Every structure is written in C-alpha cells, then in structure tokens.
Structure 1
C-alpha cells in the first residue's frame, strides 16, 4: 500500500461507524510518514477506531475532545468537555499531563506522547497536514498488541474562541 492508498483507506475507515480490523490499520500505519514533535504542536480534536480494544468508548464517556500540544514539554493529552461544554485538561484521568519525544516504534522514529504519571505512549504518524493517526502503546502490551488506534484533526480557532473556552 502506498501513502495515497493509505490516506484514502484511512478516510474511509474513519467515516465508518462499524468495527475496523487492527491488521488493516497496521497496514495503513506502515505506509504513513513519521512526524517530528515540533511539527504537531497545536490543538487537535480526537476520535477513535472501533477495534474491540478495551478502551473503545471509554474516552467518549469522559467527554474527551482531543489533545493540546502547547510545546514539547507541555502536553495536555486528555482535553475533555465539562458540563457547560468548556474544555479542560482532565489530569485526574490522565494521571497528570504529558510531553512529546521522538521514540522508535516498529522500527521507525516518530513523535510520541509520553504520559507523566503512567507507562503509556501515544505514537503518531502523518496522514496529511491536518490529520494524525495514533497508536496507544504501554508497559505490559505485547509487541503484537492489542493497541488502541485513534486519530487527531488539527483545530483552527480564533484567539477569541480560545479565550471563551478558557473562561
């Protein structure tokens, strides 16, 4: 599979509400380009692929919105919505926040988010300029998984909108 086929199939699977085979997601992952931590700074809205992983549906229950990479050392991995719809960093759920590193995963070095308070890593690859594919990995997960597969879309908001959400 080349990168254009991977991008097209990624979009199809992302729009699909049904189950997705992790092997197909692994094939897409292998075709995508690695990214540097500095290249993914900003705000991202997230979603997941339904693969049957135990975490499927759990983030939705927490009203997970996405991730904010303010800098490589200032990452808010679990941006969630409160009762009024405002965004906040759910540090309780994430056991702290996170940072970005360049880490080898499956023989490639790519941007990886490392949680501060738990042995969990989110590896990222570029689908396109506004979309990342993520694979959550962690201590105790065998090399073949099961992994949690997700995606992030870059958010472009005005400074006024960001200020309203922070209030």
Structure 2
C-alpha cells in the first residue's frame, strides 16, 4: 500500500531521506514522488548537480565511480545527461558512458505527464518532478534503467 503525502510532507520526507545514511526504501521514495508536482521540459534548462538515493539498485555507486557531477539541459534537443569530472577536476560530457547525449520530452509516467529526459543511445528515460525551485527528484526508467524491477532514484540541484 502506497502512503499518500501532501506536497509539503513529500518535500520534508525528501530532505530527510536525502540526508539518510544507509539504504532508503523504494516505497518511501515512491510516496515522495507521488506527492511532488510535475515539470515542463523548459523548467529544467540550465546546469544541475546530482546525487542518488541508495536503495540497493544494481547501479548504485556506479555514477560516483565515473565522476558523475550532474546534468546540463541547454534546450529540449541539447542535453548532456552525464556531466562528469576528469582526473584533473574538469567537467565534461561523458558521451562514451552515456552512449551519446539526450533530449527532453513531456512523457506520461505513473499517470502524470512530466518532463523526461530520453537518452539518445540507450533505452533509458529519466522522469523528473519538482521538490522546490532549485531541486528536482528523478526516477530512471526504461529497459536500461530498471534492474530486477527496481528503478534508480536520484536528485538534481540547480547550480
């Protein structure tokens, strides 16, 4: 059974779980997601720093190992999904890891249309909802993002 949260409760719970040590339960993140508001693609334009929720997803920790910093949304057709840091600390778009770059669309996910990022070279879609004016929550979806029925949950903060 999914817990129903108001937007304010979802924002508070998001803040709590973001600061949590150890594993975060997918059901808690799903309840937060349900309480947040949708976005239009243009609301994501700009540079964002990212982080992930540790849920036991097979990809947990892989982004950090790759030097993942965040994402940059220049326009609907110009998205760098995997901005990483090289050994010298310089930011770059890791097109090798991402198998290209991405684009922004409005896509229905869990019964709501929201801003979603579609990778150019792999079967992955990231869906986004607003936590506040400078923070969004993301859920990685698609055959390349869902592993053993589990989504990867993450967040972005506006730079």
Q: TM-score, normalised by structure 1?
A: 0.90
1:83 to 87, 94, 111: 87
Quote the Cα distance in structure 2 between the aligned partners of 1:11 and 1:89: 28
Tell me the equivalent position of 2:35.
31
Which structure 2 residues correspond to residues 11-160 of structure 1 after superposition, within 5 A? 11-139=15-143, 145-155=149-159
Q: Which runs of 4+ in 1 moved over 4 A?
A: none
Quote the Cα distance in structure 2 between the aligned partners of 1:85 and 1:64: 11
CA RMSD of aligned residues (A): 1.3
Bigger share in helix? 1
| Bigger Rg, which one | 1
Structure 1: runs of 5+ lacking an equivalent: 156-167
Q: TM-score, normalised by structure 2?
A: 0.94
Quote the Cα distance in structure 2 between the aligned partners of 1:132 and 1:153: 7
Structure 2: runs of 5+ lacking an equivalent: none
Closer, same or farther: CA 116–140 of 1 in aligned 2, 3 Å: closer
Q: Deviations over 1:33-84 (max 9, x none)?
A: 0000011100000000000000000000000000000111000000000111
State the secondary structure of the residue aligned to 1:11.
helix
Quote the Cα distance in structure 1 between the aligned partners of 2:137 and 2:158: 12
